[in-house]
Amino acid sequence: MTCDEARELLWPPERPRLLAADVERAREHLRTCPECVRYLAQDRVLLDAYHRLRKLEAPLEVRGRVFDSLARERAKPGAETNRTKTPSGWSVALAAVLVVSVGGVLWSGPGSDEAAAPQMAEATDADGGTGVEAAFVEDYLRRAVGEDYLESTDVEEIVQFLTRELGQHVTLLRLAELMPVRVEICLLEGRRGAMIVYQFDGKRVTHYLVPKPADARPPSVAREHGDLAVVTWASGSLEEALVGEVSSDTLLSLVRSGRSD
Amino acid sequence: MTRTIEDQVSLELDTLWQAALFLAGGEPRGAESLLVDTVVAASEDYLRVAMMDGASDAVERLMLRRFFDHTPWLPQGRALRGSRDVPEDVDDLLRSAGSIPPRSRAALWLVVIRRKPYVEGADILGIDGEELRGLLEHRETLMAGSHRVVTRRKEGSP
């Protein structure tokens, strides 16, 4: 066995390793090779230097500049496509609007949808847009970091994916005119959920599902935001919403017809 | 659940800073530039980072590979010597690193300093074991700086 082979096999020397035949041969080599003994003895000096080095902490100003750069990068127009390689800016905007428009409905508990929407609207107006931007950035950041996704039109494959990712059985909206094209795991208000993007009449509508204990609630129009409509409902374990650039009546009809329960 | 890039960077930041200082030969401006570029690249290349999810050193690996493949021009800045952030003896080690060719610096950081097995170090850098062994031959230069670390430490001991 050569010195190089022995050193490689026994590196790093402080790490325990199985006593395989080649390790035993390397140790035997070490016992008879002064050069290798010297090499490994010198290494203790490097190990000591490393222990000194690892006590260094990144200075606060460096930390600040690192995270500022990260935030600036994320805020660049069009950067999201590069990062996630799949979702369109449309879906990001949609998610953001959903957070602003439906967030209160989704998270404020069953039966509170009527009250929550006005509260959200007030907060947004009072902030003069700041609340909207914050929600947009928050959701953008979460979604840009690479949650799991699946591009498929196979309903069974999508159901399997969601069941695995969300830890519970999920039912898609089943309608001939709704074609699922993509599923993405997302985070809303700190909860892991999923969005299913459907093709509908040349447009896209997105179905959000967020596991959360909730009393069952029938579908209702939560609010319209420009061309964007939102319908929300709940089952015993999921808060759900359908969002799209179609009329709220159409969305409501899709939800009512597409639900199998 | 997939860790966010912010979580991952927070987790690794001190080690990233140490690695960046080493790779930049102790120049803080160069180290910061390398660190920031790596973090931005990691955010763009999230899939690659995500694939390494679970590895506590995912961004560090990315930094080493980027530095190894495309040694960047690093701005020179105020020397760290005497800085309250970096003890003088550690600065000796970093300066020794600065006198080593960049690709060897990356290999030495991974194997000699970070104690990665040869196979893992070669894998991170995308090279074979033979090339790695060649790059590690600059270890003696690093030893000189490390000796000064130990000597100063002994001198400073009560």
Structure confidence by residue, pLDDT tens digits, A71-80: 887 776 655 4
Cβ–Cβ under 8 Å, residues A197 and A242: no
Quote the Cα angle for A7-A9-A12, to 5°.
70
Highest mean pLDDT of the ranges A91-95, A232-236, B152-156: A232-236
What's the start-to-end Cα distance of chain B, in Å?
A: 49
Please say if the pLDDT value at position A109 is more than 50.
no
A184-215 pLDDT, tens digit per residue, is: 877 666 567 788 888 888 888 889 888 877 78
**Sheet arrangement for strand A238-244:** A149-150, A179-188, A191-200, A203-211, A238-244, A228-234, A217-225
Please say if the pLDDT value at position B65 is more than 50.
yes
pLDDT of residue B130: 92
- Is the pLDDT higher at A254 or at A124? A254
Contact between chains at B36 and A65 (C-beta distance less than 8 A): yes
**Percent of chain B residues topping a pLDDT of 70:** 72
Residue of B46, B140, B154 to mutate, interface with A, max A Cβ within 10 Å: B46
Confidence of residue B126 (pLDDT cuts 50, 70, 90): very high
**Of A53, A82, A141, Cβ closest to residue B93:** A53
pLDDT of residue A29: 93
Cβ–Cβ under 8 Å, residues A243 and A91: no
pLDDT of residue B21: 93
Give, for A253, the enclosing helix (H) or strand (E). Answer: helix A248-258
A176-189 pLDDT, tens digit per residue, is: 888 888 888 776 66
Rg (CA), chain B: 16
Contacts of A14 in chain B (CB under 8 A): 115
Average pLDDT over residues B47-65: 71
Supply the mean pLDDT for chain A.
72
**Of B39, B49, B146, Cβ closest to residue A45:** B146
**Of A4, A58, A70, Cβ closest to residue B6:** A70
A13, A147, A253, B157 from A102: Cα distances, Å? 58, 21, 19, 63
Instruction: Provide the chain A residues 38-57 that lie in CB contact (below 8 A) with chain B.
Output: 42-43, 45-50, 52-54, 56-57
| Coil, strand or helix at A18 | coil
Average pLDDT over residues A22-35: 91
Give, for A228, the enclosing helix (H) or strand (E). Answer: strand A228-234
**Percent of chain A residues topping a pLDDT of 90:** 6
How far is it, in rounded angstroms, from Cα A186 to Cα A173? 18
Please say if the pLDDT value at position A129 is more than 50.
no
> A-B interface: how many C-beta pairs under 8 angstroms?
127
Contact between chains at A142 and B9 (C-beta distance less than 8 A): no
Amino acid at B39: V
pLDDT of residue B54: 54
